[in-house]
């Protein structure tokens, strides 16, 4: 553990060119943009089909109507979809 920390501090202490720093910053910014806009909506777990909220077991799971059918989904992901009683 100490060796890894020493290696990290040595690498941070080395000089970096402006071009190299901007390149790393750009790659990080592009990665964040992909994570926020491109990949976040596709990375959901498979949900259970339902007709009412009782089918989902209660708690933080609710029955939501989506384009592909009615599925049990966490309340946070049900935004913009129709919630069943």
pLDDT band at residue 20 using 50, 70 and 90 as cut-offs: confident
pTM greater than 0.85: no
Mean per-residue pLDDT, 48-69: 80
Domain span at 72: 53-83
State whether 33 and 58 are in the same domain.
no
Question: Could you tell me what percent of the chain has a pLDDT over 70?
Answer: 78
State whether 57 and 34 are in the same domain.
no
Domain assignment of residue 70, yes or no? yes
State whether 35 and 7 are in the same domain.
yes
State whether 13 and 35 are in the same domain.
yes
State whether 7 and 31 are in the same domain.
yes
State whether 29 and 57 are in the same domain.
no
pLDDT of residue 66: 75
pLDDT of residue 24: 86
The Cα–Cα gap between 4 and 64 comes to 47
The Cα–Cα gap between 22 and 25 comes to 5
**Number of structural domains the chain divides into:** 2
pLDDT band at residue 1 using 50, 70 and 90 as cut-offs: low
């Amino acid at each position: 553990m100490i060796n890894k920390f020493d290696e990290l501090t040595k690498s941070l202490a080395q000089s970096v060119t402006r071009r190299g720093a901007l390149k790393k910053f750009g790659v990080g910014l592009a990665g964040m943009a992909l994570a926020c806009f491109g990949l976040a909506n596709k990375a959901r777990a498979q949900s259970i089909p339902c007709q009412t909220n009782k089918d989902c077991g209660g708690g933080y799971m609710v029955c939501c109507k989506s384009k592909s059918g009615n599925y049990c989904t966490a309340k946070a992901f049900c935004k913009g979809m129709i919630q069943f009683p």
